[in-house]
Amino acid sequence: MTGKALGYHQSIEEIENILAKIESGESDINDLTAEIKRAAKLIQDCKQRLFRTEQEIEKIMKIDDSCNSIL
C-alpha cells in the first residue's frame, strides 16, 4: 500500500479484506503482525475522520441554531 491516504470507504474495505484474510487462514504467520498493524492504523484513521466530521457537523448545527434564533 502506498503512503497516499485512503478515503473512509476504501479504508473500511481494506480493513474488511484484512480481517477476511486472517479469519480464512490465508494470512501467512510471517505477515500477520504487519496486517494487524495495518488494520489498527486504518481503524485509527477512520475514528479520527468520524470525530472530525462529528465536530464539523456540531459546529454547523450551532451556526444554524444561532441563525434561526435571529429570525
What pLDDT does 1 receive?
Answer: 46
Cα gap 40→31, rounded to integer Å:
14
Do 11 and 44 meet the contact criterion of CB atoms below 8 Å apart? no
Report yes or no on whether pTM surpasses 0.75.
yes
pLDDT bin (cut points 50, 70, 90) of residue 5 is confident
pLDDT for 16 beyond 90: yes
CB-CB contact of 15 with 42 (8 Å): yes
* Domains of the chain, residue spans: 8-70
pLDDT on residue 3: 57
Q: What is the pLDDT of residues 28-57, one digit of tens each?
A: 999 999 999 999 999 999 999 999 999 999
Q: Which residues of 23-55 are buried (b: 16+ CB within 10 A; e: fewer)?
A: eeeebeeeeeeebeeebeebeeebeeeeeeeee
In this prediction, residue 61 has a pLDDT band, given cuts at 50, 70 and 90, of confident
d(CA 49, CA 40): 14
